[in-house]
């Protein structure tokens, strides 16, 4: 088998193989025991969703790190094996050094082309591995960045060795102005630049600018690769096949995105300002199932006409879950109905217990997003009605079966993360909510007040942090045989939950973890 196929099939097949292993007899208990050691913990202290210092990126988990290490080591091994040096060589005469240099130069170029399809595959929302494996989209996005870095290393090494070789042979001046050489330089530079501008620092500075730059640099990288081989070899060696596969993967993902939008159709949204930079967006007429752990990408083309393609992922809530409270709030505002006030736990939060009839003409069909306004697209979400909206989704976050099969569900969230966990509370018969809310985000508590009334067990803290390790310990002491933990919210909170679950799992507890956080 060609070495290029070895690295491609390894990168593609390893997630499938590891997923299939979990279905073998007697493997389930082994996997559960290994999760606190290989699947859940981060490779760098308590950093995973929480960024590393100086915003250099997000640390992989140990399991993700093993995959990255396998791909990097395999690439290094394949770069250095199966060479047959002969003396004298037709091109390089008695120089074994130049001959070996040329072989490594060609090998790194071929291996770089071979993993390029993985770079495109892992970045897609409609990645076939998301359907064939139990790996999450956030995992593949993290791996996308690491495989892209390996590709860039191949490109850089290939270019440096080519420069050394052509200088040693005295061929540099006669080739440096040729089209194939120039396009090779362009591809290497754009691939290298893409790695730099894709760091978390630039993504946080301006995600929209990063996205446009990322797409343009990727385009120049592929075009540069194409013309580099076309002007150098023509199409006789088949190197272009790797580019065909990469372009096909990209085109498939974009086509399915468009089809998802067309399937949902043209929709209209109502945007309600909740105060302190928080808004509620109700997209009307959408009937998606209420399975927990899903998100969708929303487009509001008329709010930013100069950039209609901008979109962001949001956790999904069925509007019907919130509709009664929404109309109860409207009736209180218009003095059409009174309300009794009740305490929620010991947090001092009060809310209406009145269930109002749905106002005639309003629809309970739809999905709702809660958004904390930031820079870019979300900053233009101001209170208004009848906003043109397109939805690309729904997409699952992680597999949910193992969590829902637990005896007890513990939901830990912070701030606007409540929108990602409410469907989980509806999906499990024995669940408890722990929610920490900043004083400035108290409006969110009122926005979901009706839902909170229906939750039997809850601990809501306004202006107070949660003792994550303590609450996990309290749940374990209750005697549940297997506990599922769902975390959604700020990176620090999610990583604290991860650390607490890892500690409990290593102490012999059966505990499942699901982190619903956008760390990309």
Whether 420 and 450 share a structural domain = yes
Whether 277 and 352 share a structural domain = yes
Cβ within 8 Å of residue 341, ≥6 positions away: 350, 351, 352
pLDDT tier at 337 (50, 70, 90 boundaries)? very low
Q: In sequence order, what are the beta bridge partners of 283?
A: 269, 367
Q: What value does the mean pLDDT take over residues 482-487?
A: 96
Whether 385 and 405 share a structural domain = no
Structural domain count of the chain = 3
| Confidence (pTM) | 0.89
Q: Looking at residue 59, what DSSP letter applies?
A: P
Q: What value does the mean pLDDT take over residues 377-386?
A: 83
User: Per-residue pLDDT for 206 more than 90?
Assistant: no
pLDDT of residue 360: 41
CB 397 within 8 A of CB 516: yes
Cβ within 8 Å of residue 400, ≥6 positions away: 291, 292, 293, 427, 514
pLDDT of residue 38: 92
Task: State the CB neighbour count (10 A cutoff) for residue 111.
Answer: 25
Whether 95 and 157 share a structural domain = yes
pLDDT of residue 383: 87
Whether 238 and 290 share a structural domain = no
pLDDT of residue 323: 66
What are 118-144's pLDDT values in tens digits?
999 999 999 999 999 989 999 999 999
High-pLDDT (> 90) share of the chain, %: 63
Query: In a 10 Å sphere around its CB, with 0-12 CB exposed, 13-18 middle and 19+ buried, how is residue 421 labelled?
Result: buried
CB 80 within 8 A of CB 206: no
Last residue of a domain, one of 242, 260, 278: 260
Higher pLDDT pick, 419 / 329: 419
Q: Looking at residue 508, what DSSP letter applies?
A: T
Whether 296 and 407 share a structural domain = no
What are 250-269's pLDDT values in tens digits?
999 999 999 999 999 999 99
Quote the CA–CA distance of 450 and 323 in Å, as a whole number.
9
* 17: in domain: no
pLDDT of residue 520: 55
* 57: in domain: no
Whether 110 and 192 share a structural domain = yes
User: Per-residue pLDDT for 302 more than 70?
Assistant: yes
CATH number of the domain enclosing 276: 2.40.30
User: Per-residue pLDDT for 208 more than 90?
Assistant: no
Taking only Cα atoms into account, the Rg of the chain, rounded to an integer number of angstroms, comes to 27
Last residue of a domain, one of 396, 430, 448: 396
- Alpha carbon dihedral 467, 469, 471, 475, in 10-degree steps, equals 180
Whether 240 and 288 share a structural domain = no
Last residue of a domain, one of 350, 379, 396: 396
CATH number of the domain enclosing 436: 3.40.50.80
pLDDT tier at 375 (50, 70, 90 boundaries)? low
CATH number of the domain enclosing 249: 1.20.120
Whether 115 and 138 share a structural domain = yes
pLDDT of residue 332: 38
Q: What is the DSSP string of 398-462?
A: S--HHHHTSSEEEEEEEGGGHHHHHHHHHH-SSEEEEEEE-GGGTHHHHHTHHHHHT-SSEEEEE
* 291: in domain: yes
CB 370 within 8 A of CB 419: yes
* 333: in domain: yes
Whether 318 and 250 share a structural domain = no
Higher pLDDT pick, 255 / 358: 255
* 473: in domain: yes
pLDDT of residue 351: 40
pLDDT tier at 472 (50, 70, 90 boundaries)? very high
Query: In a 10 Å sphere around its CB, with 0-12 CB exposed, 13-18 middle and 19+ buried, how is residue 52 labelled?
Result: middle
Q: What is the sign, positive or negative, of the torsion defined by CA atoms of 484, 489, 490, 493?
A: negative
Cβ within 8 Å of residue 412, ≥6 positions away: 434, 466, 468, 471, 485, 486, 487, 488, 489, 493, 497
pLDDT of residue 37: 95
pLDDT of residue 413: 95
pLDDT tier at 339 (50, 70, 90 boundaries)? very low
User: Per-residue pLDDT for 149 more than 60?
Assistant: yes
Quote the CA–CA distance of 283 and 368 in Å, as a whole number.
6
Quote the CA–CA distance of 520 and 138 in Å, as a whole number.
7
pLDDT tier at 498 (50, 70, 90 boundaries)? very high
* 426: in domain: yes
* 220: in domain: yes
CA 93, chain centre distance (Å):
52
pLDDT of residue 364: 67
High-pLDDT (> 70) share of the chain, %: 90
207-216's contacts with Cβ under 8 Å and 24+ in sequence apart are 207/375, 207/376, 208/307, 208/310, 208/376, 208/377
* 275: in domain: yes
Domain that holds residue 308: 267-396
Phi and psi torsions of 280, nearest 5°: -115, 130
User: Per-residue pLDDT for 336 more than 80?
Assistant: no
Structure token pair of residue 331: 């009736």
Higher pLDDT pick, 303 / 504: 504
CB 316 within 8 A of CB 288: yes
Quote the CA–CA distance of 119 and 488 in Å, as a whole number.
28
Least confident range from 1-5, 326-330, 409-413: namely 326-330
Q: What value does the mean pLDDT take over residues 312-336?
A: 62
Q: What is the sign, positive or negative, of the torsion defined by CA atoms of 21, 44, 418, 129?
A: negative
Average pLDDT, the chain: 88
Quote the CA–CA distance of 230 and 224 in Å, as a whole number.
10
Whether 391 and 506 share a structural domain = no
Q: What value does the mean pLDDT take over residues 481-507?
A: 95
pLDDT tier at 518 (50, 70, 90 boundaries)? low
pLDDT tier at 1 (50, 70, 90 boundaries)? low
Whether 231 and 353 share a structural domain = no
Q: What is the sign, positive or negative, of the torsion defined by CA atoms of 242, 245, 247, 249?
A: negative
- Alpha carbon dihedral 119, 123, 129, 134, in 10-degree steps, equals 120
């Amino acid at each position: 088998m060609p070495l290029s196929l070895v690295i491609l099939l390894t990168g593609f097949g390893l997630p499938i193989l590891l997923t299939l292993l979990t279905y073998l007899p007697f493997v389930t208990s082994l996997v559960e025991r290994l999760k606190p050691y290989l699947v859940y913990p981060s490779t760098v202290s308590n950093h995973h969703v929480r960024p590393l210092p100086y915003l250099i990126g997000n640390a992989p988990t140990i399991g993700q790190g093993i995959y990255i290490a396998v791909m990097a080591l395999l690439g290094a091994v394949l770069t250095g094996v199966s060479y047959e040096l002969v003396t004298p060589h037709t091109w390089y005469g008695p120089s074994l050094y130049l001959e070996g240099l040329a072989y490594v130069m060609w090998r790194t170029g071929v291996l770089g082309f071979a993993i390029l399809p993985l770079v495109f595959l892992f970045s897609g929302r409609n990645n076939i591995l998301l359907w064939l494996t139990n790996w999450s989209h956030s995992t593949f996005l993290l791996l996308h960045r690491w495989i892209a870095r390996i590709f860039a290393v191949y490109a850089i090494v290939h270019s440096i060795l080519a420069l050394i070789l052509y200088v040693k042979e005295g061929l540099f001046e006669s080739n440096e102005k040729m089209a194939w050489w120039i396009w090779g330089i362009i591809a290497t530079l754009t691939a290298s630049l893409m790695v730099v501008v894709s760091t978390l620092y630039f993504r946080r500075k301006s995600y929209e600018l990063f996205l446009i730059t990322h797409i343009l640099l990727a385009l120049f990288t592929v075009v540069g690769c194409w013309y580099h081989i076309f002007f150098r070899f023509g199409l006789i060696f088949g190197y272009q096949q790797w580019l065909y596969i990469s372009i096909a993967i990209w085109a498939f993902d974009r086509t399915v995105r468009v089809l998802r939008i067309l399937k949902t159709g043209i929709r209209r949204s109502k945007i309600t300002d909740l105060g302190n930079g928080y808004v509620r967006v109700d997209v009307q007429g959408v009937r998606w199932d209420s399975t927990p752990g899903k998100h969708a990408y929303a487009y509001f083309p008329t709010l930013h006409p100069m950039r209609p393609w901008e979109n962001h992922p949001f956790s999904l809530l069925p509007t019907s879950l919130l509709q009664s409270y929404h109309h109860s709030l409207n009736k209180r505002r218009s003095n059409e109905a009174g309300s009794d006030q009740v305490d929620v736990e010991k947090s001092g939060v009060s809310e209406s217990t009145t269930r109002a009839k749905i106002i005639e003409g309003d629809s309970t069909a739809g999905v709702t997003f809660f958004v904390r306004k930031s820079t870019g697209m979300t900053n233009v979400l101001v209170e208004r009605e009848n906003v043109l909206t397109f939805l690309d989704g729904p997409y699952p976050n992680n597999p949910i079966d193992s969590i829902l099969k637990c005896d007890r569900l513990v939901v830990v969230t912070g701030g606007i993360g409540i929108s990602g966990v409410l469907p989980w509370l509806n999906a499990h018969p024995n669940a408890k909510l722990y929610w920490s809310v900043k004083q400035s985000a108290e409006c969110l508590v009122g926005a979901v007040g009706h839902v909170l009334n229906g939750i039997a067990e809850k601990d809501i803290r306004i202006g107070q942090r949660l003792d994550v390790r303590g609450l996990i310990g309290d749940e374990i002491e209750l005697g549940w045989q297997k506990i599922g933990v769902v975390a959604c919210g700020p990176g620090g909170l999610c990583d604290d939950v991860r650390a607490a679950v890892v500690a409990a799992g290593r102490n012999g507890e059966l505990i499942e973890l699901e982190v619903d956080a956008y760390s990309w």
